[in-house]
Amino acid sequence: MESPQKLIPGYANAKATRRYAEHYIAEGKAAEGHYSDFSRAKMRLSSLGIGTFGGAATAEVDAAISAIVARGLTEGINVVDTGAHYRYGRSLAAVGAGVRTALEAGVPREAMFLISKGGFLTLRGGPPDDMDAWFQREIESQGMGTRDDLAKGAHLLTPEYIHYQMELSRSLMGVETLDAFIIDQPEVHIHEIGKEATNRRLEPVFEVLERAAREKKIRAYGISTFEGFREETDAAVFQSLTSMQGLAERAAQTVTGDDHARHHFKIGMLPFNQVMLEGFTRFNTATGQGNVASPLQAAHQLEVYMFASHSMLKGHLAQQSVEVVEQQLATLPNPAQRAMQFNRSTPGLGTSLVGMSTPEHLDDMLAVMREPLLEKKAYLGMFKKAEEE
């Protein structure tokens, strides 16, 4: 898989991300609380990050995403999230172009935290006319999986395919090292084969990612869930951070032959917003420390950095706010800014990702990053008020 350009070396580190944060705070472009601590790595990451899922698969949207990424990185947003299947793989290259523009503007690679994902089929060039023929040609004949490995006809959890998507991400983004590679929604397999069988599929995938971390192709990995982290403990689809770390420990031991090897499962992602609150309010995760915690509390205890997806609830929260949020954040000019401020003020939540393919939407993000976070008492007061009503 040849890249047309030499891959950009480097990866996010503590010194560069801290210097980046200090610069934008000193310039008055970011409030002190805008940068979250990725404690395990001693890095500082922006509380809001750029997502690149949406938008048509066109050159115009490619250019728009590149411009958003470049401007965000040069104005205080140092987290960019994409995926191997986003816009049929086009978002990878669009992010890469934005990263190169930011580098030329003086932003060091070591200050950027770049994420890609795998699992859902990439379908480069768009959906094929004959899906069966495509799958046989592109997947089966390449030894990357069989029809029996597929879930929902669109998700593949084999070590070979995840390795392919990781390498595709590095190549098209043009970077030697991804700061994180995330398995996207592995729980879709639970619906079809159950949790135990899904975890048996995940462990060799984690082995691939442990090897990649040791080869410095990635720095960390994790999973992104839609239902998994948010459900009740006894739900069939529930996935706990604790059990994922257990799989990662075994994977690290298998790869290294060392019973004390440290794993690289350091990232979690779940939907979180004013409507989907379970990450903060549902106590479902036993952390092995004698207590049951919410997913966000558990992440803190287990030293997993947690990202929020669906910060805008597919655009709905850019149009309207929940009443108590509208009242508490009345000084902000629109629902989009209120949605971002609500999320970034949530205790335990590291970075809230906001997908955008319209450059003007970045203005709202840059405005919110100048706002101090809500004080914890005011944040918790919204929940109390909502209960009373």
pLDDT of residue 289: 64
- Write down the mean pLDDT value for the chain: 96
Q: Which residue has the tokens 């075994």?
A: 250
322-360 residue pLDDT tens: 999 999 999 999 999 999 999 999 999 999 999 999 999
Dihedrals phi, psi of 343, to nearest 5 degrees = -65, -45
**Which of the residue ranges 85-89, 259-263, 351-355, 383-387 would you say has the lowest mean pLDDT?**
383-387
Mean pLDDT of 174-181: 98
pLDDT of residue 3: 44
| All residues at 6 or more sequence positions from 132 whose CB lies less than 8 Å from its CB, including other chains | none
Mean pLDDT of 251-255: 98
Q: Are 187 and 198 in contact (CB under 8 A)?
A: yes
Task: Give the confidence band of 389 by pLDDT, cuts at 50, 70, 90.
Answer: low
In order of 58, 217, 330, the CA distances from 4 in angstroms are 20, 18, 49
79 beta partners: 113
How many CB atoms sit inside 10 A of residue 35's CB?
A: 25
pLDDT of residue 291: 86
CA angle 57, 359, 118 (to 5 degrees): 45
182 pLDDT above the threshold of 50: yes
HSE, side-chain direction, 13 A CA sphere, residue 297? 15
pLDDT of residue 87: 97
SS3 content of the chain, % helix, strand, coil (to 5): 45, 15, 40
**What is residue 178's three-state secondary structure?**
strand
d(CA 18, CA 36): 10
How many CB atoms sit inside 10 A of residue 97's CB?
A: 18
d(CA 171, CA 92): 9
Task: Give the confidence band of 1 by pLDDT, cuts at 50, 70, 90.
Answer: very low
Phi-psi region of 315 (alpha: psi -120 to 50; beta: other; left: phi over 0): left
- Complete DSSP assignment for 245-263: HHHHHHHHHHHHS-TTPPP
253 pLDDT above the threshold of 70: yes
pLDDT of residue 4: 56
Task: Give the confidence band of 41 by pLDDT, cuts at 50, 70, 90.
Answer: confident
223-251 residue pLDDT tens: 999 999 999 999 999 999 999 999 999 99
Percent of the chain surpassing pLDDT 90: 95
Mean pLDDT of 96-115: 98
CA dihedral 240, 245, 251, 256 (to 10 degrees): 180
Task: Give the confidence band of 385 by pLDDT, cuts at 50, 70, 90.
Answer: confident
277-290 residue pLDDT tens: 999 999 999 997 67
2 pLDDT above the threshold of 50: no
Mean pLDDT of 182-205: 97
Mean pLDDT of 131-149: 97
Q: Which residue has the higher pLDDT, 39 or 113?
A: 113
Q: Are 2 and 167 in contact (CB under 8 A)?
A: no
